[in-house]
Amino acid sequence: VSHNKNHVIQDAPHRWRNIEELVYKDEDGAATFKDVTRRVLFGEDHVDGMEVRYFEVDAGGHTTLEKHEHTHLVIPIKGKGACLVGDEVLPLAMHDLVYVPSWAWHQFRADESEVFGFLCLVKVERDRPTLPTADEITEMKANAEVAAFIRHQ
Ligand code: MN
């Protein structure tokens, strides 16, 4: 059976044929995260320079707290979690949609007892994420809700 790269088939819930599980981040040893995997569903040569990825965060895990010039469109498709976008903490459920603007601090967390999976649209050509400095962490923590949410070590 030939593989049609224009049709990505789900073989099991949130697992797709010929799509390999990747480490969440391999390029930056300084970035902190916990229990996150990545799958590239559509890479370059599909939607005009866009990529569609699937990230899965294990219960209690989190993505890197970061910001960058490029934007994200995130669509949760498994479980429950929450995210920081700018200075807002947003609870996220399946089929919500959330936009991460340019240079907004962001971080995604799974609920303590649920795996959280989401699609993320991003430009193929994009800048590297920036991590918060100690001063920026202090600044973010001035907001009590943000302070309680963020994980940065
Ligand atoms: Mn990001």
- Is 120 known to be catalytic? yes
From 83, 98, 120, 122, active-site residue: 120
The CB-side HSE value for 55 (13 A sphere, CA atoms) comes to 28
Average pLDDT over residues 89-93: 97
> Taking 90 as the threshold, does the pLDDT of residue 2 lie above it?
no
More confident residue, 99 or 26: 99
- Of 24 and 1, the structure prediction assigns the larger pLDDT to 24
Output the CA 106–ligand 1 centroid distance in Å: 7
| Mean pLDDT along residues 67-79 | 98
CB atoms within 10 A of CB 55: 20
pLDDT for position 75? 98
Residue 19 CA to ligand 1 center (angstroms) comes to 21
| CA-to-CA separations, 138 to 36, 109, 129, 146, in angstroms, rounded | 25, 20, 19, 11
pLDDT at position 32: 85
- What digits encode the pLDDT tens for the residues 12-62? 999 999 999 998 886 667 788 899 999 999 998 788 999 999 999 999 999
**Total-model pTM:** 0.93
Instruction: Evaluate if residue 121 carries a pLDDT over 70.
Output: yes
Q: Report whether pLDDT(116) > 80.
A: yes
